[in-house]
Amino acid sequence: MRRLEPCRLQEDWARTLQTPGRLGPSQTRGGGTAAAAPDSRGRCGAGQDRGSARASLWVPGRKHTRFQEESPVVDLNVGGEFYTTTLGTLRKFPGSKLAEMFSSPAKACLDAEGRFFIDRCGTYFGPILEYLRSGQLPTQHIPEVYLEAQYYEIKPLIKYLEDTPQIFGEQVARKQFLLQVPGYSENLELMVRLARAEAVAARCSRVLVCLVRNEKEDANCADALRSLEANKRSVVKFGPWKAALDISDLLDCLNMDIKAQGYQVCYSHNSPLPAKVSDYFYTFSFSWW
């Protein structure tokens, strides 16, 4: 009598991807029925022969179910939110990261209930799924859905969202505006670091900012900046820049980007410096409690 090879334990059986030519849970090449799964001791049932089996494909997110080519049902756990859809829906755009997640069992991550787990915010996955199912375009939470569409690399949805007023205004108008200001991101980070450094036993921190639009204004502020440096007073300097940027717009961008990081901040045009240079200096106040 032919000796059978040992099989995997029963709990792993339903999750195993079996490539063509390997044994399926209940199929043999001749059409007969083999044992459905190994017993609790990991032994193969009668008729289970690896060399004579038909292919059995893996279904992510569903226990004890074989993947069938006609878009099987898939259970998802996206950041604690549960969804049910089909494999065909998830693979609708072959070049997307979402389709890639379901192209190989090596990329699978299952939760305790056997659902396919994706470690992203589940709230905004709903609009993504509706778009994949029916082409329905999102109308709410556009910036958040845009970030998720970028993560899953769903290019048609990304292109649509980039044309919406919310994303177009941020990506095209405001970001292009800020690209005209040399060192904007670095100076913004420096402002936050200075504010935090002064926050010890204080209700608020104040950061002095100097804004100069051109070389002439830069020269006018040179003496004041040297004096502040001699007195060990920190100043964050923006400019000069070449584009025709309005100071008030730059101040609003700084205020917006700092608040987006969760800080309570406001700015004022009061400076301890002489009147001839005070127009170039602003104070940003960070409130801690």
Question: Of 159, 188, 177, nearest to 248 (Cα)?
Answer: 177
Strand partners, 207: 284
* pLDDT given at position 271: 67
pLDDT tens digits for range 228-287? 999 999 999 999 988 777 899 999 999 999 999 999 999 998 767 777 888 899 999 999
Whether 124 has a pLDDT exceeding 60, the answer reads yes
Place of tokens 């589940």: 122
Mean pLDDT to the nearest integer, 136-144? 94
Model confidence over 2-39: pLDDT tens digits?
Answer: 444 444 333 443 443 343 444 444 444 444 444 444 44
pLDDT at 25: 43
Q: What is the DSSP letter of 233?
A: -
Give 143's contacts (C-beta < 8 A, 6+ positions apart).
Answer: 166, 167, 170
Strands 57-58 and 73-78: unpaired
Q: What is the mean pLDDT of residues 108-129?
A: 93
What are the pLDDT digits (tens) for 194-216? 999 988 888 999 999 999 999 99
Dmax of the chain from CA atoms?
103
3-class secondary structure, 268: strand
- Cα separation of 138 and 189, whole Å? 33
Residue 113, number of CB atoms within 10 A of its CB: 11
ω into 138 cis (within 30 of 0): no
- The answer to whether 199 and 264 are in contact (CB under 8 A) is no
The sign one gets for the Cα dihedral 217, 223, 224, 229 is positive
Mean residue pLDDT of the chain comes to 79
Confidence of residue 176 (pLDDT cuts 50, 70, 90): confident
Greater confidence, 9 or 190?
190
pLDDT at 127 over 90: yes
DSSP classification of residue 260: H
